[in-house]
Amino acid sequence: MQTVTLNNGVKMPILGFGVFQVPPEETEQAVTDALAAGYRLLDTAALYHNEEAVGRAIKNSGIPREELFVTTKLWIQNAPAEENTKQAFDASLRKLGLDYVDLYLMHQPYGDVYGQWRAMESLHREGRAKAIGVSNFYPDRVLDLVLNNEITPAVNQIEAHPFFQRTADHKLLRERGIQLQSWGGFAEGKNNLFTDPLLSEIGRQHGKSVAQVVVRWFIQRDIGTIPKSVRPERMAENIDVFDFQLTDEQMASIAALDTGATLFFDHRDPQWVDRLGVLRMDA
């Protein structure tokens, strides 16, 4: 599997498997199938309530721990954030049945972000989070975090897909040594992504599906991606992208699909801050 080297030297597979919205009772099977299909990066979160099932699939796979790259995410913590972050991390590790994670992400840019980040820095120093990063941070928030803390996030996991390409954000993150990893890389099928005429035509030219074109497009932009599927045939399809290359013309034509706008929600929208920013896992 092709990897990207993060700003602390850790190597992360450029393509992984996400389990958002996979019900806990289906997650063990989905992860088992994904590992069998060749995925080695697994992306979960405390909020997904399926860390235990991910952990069971890892344990039963027999795959050596060092061959896997496991990401989980911290949900927004009440004060005292530093103490509660450590407890939340311990709970995630316990559920996963692991003694370290490869990447620990702050899931949302809300709450006592700096207190949470200081705790994450200390988890990283202890070696229990091999890399730490953020998610859903717009450039202004990332930059402020970078400028006012010791450790620069290794990754920012944000919405990115052909209709919201994040080109300027990608440039800024790169300049700061932060790896962009997309979530919702298929836009969860919104905007009829899987039947988009341009992506379909490019796929036809390579004998590949729209999904494969999209995954390939991310890889050629050095952006990590973590497509989700509960169907083994789609898992296999989405990882079968290392035997073709999009041309410069094709990359340029896909760039024209960018609308520059979210298809989900803007994390800076006060209505969403009001809804999501107060959500607590233990509420």
- Provide the terminal-to-terminal Cα distance of the chain, rounded to the nearest Å: 40
The interface mask with ligand NAP, positions 220-239, x = CB under 6 A, is: ------xxxxxx--x--xx-
- Structure-block tokens of residue 280: 């607590």
Q: Burial code of 185-220, b = ≥16 C-beta within 10 A, e = fewer?
A: bbbeeebebeebeebeebbeebebbbbbbbbbbbbb
Nearer to ligand NAP, 248 or 261 (CB): 261
267 binds ligand NAP (CB under 6 A): no
Q: How far is the CB of 42 from ligand NAP (least distance, A)?
A: 9
Task: Determine the 3-state secondary structure of 50 from DSSP.
Answer: coil
| Residue from 48, 100, 110, 138 carrying the catalytic annotation | 48
User: What is the rounded distance in angstroms from the CA atom of residue 46 to the CA atom of residue 74?
Assistant: 6
185 binds ligand NAP (CB under 6 A): yes
217 binds ligand NAP (CB under 6 A): no
Nearer to ligand NAP, 26 or 126 (CB): 26
Active site residue 48: yes
Amino acid present at 128: R
Q: How far is the CB of 76 from ligand NAP (least distance, A)?
A: 12
138 binds ligand NAP (CB under 6 A): no
- Give the DSSP H/E element, type plus range, for residue 121: helix 113-125
Q: Find the length of the chain.
A: 283
Catalytic residues: 48
Given the rule CB under 6 A, which residues bind ligand NAP? Answer: 18-21, 43, 107, 135-136, 157, 183-189, 194, 209, 211, 226-231, 234, 237-238
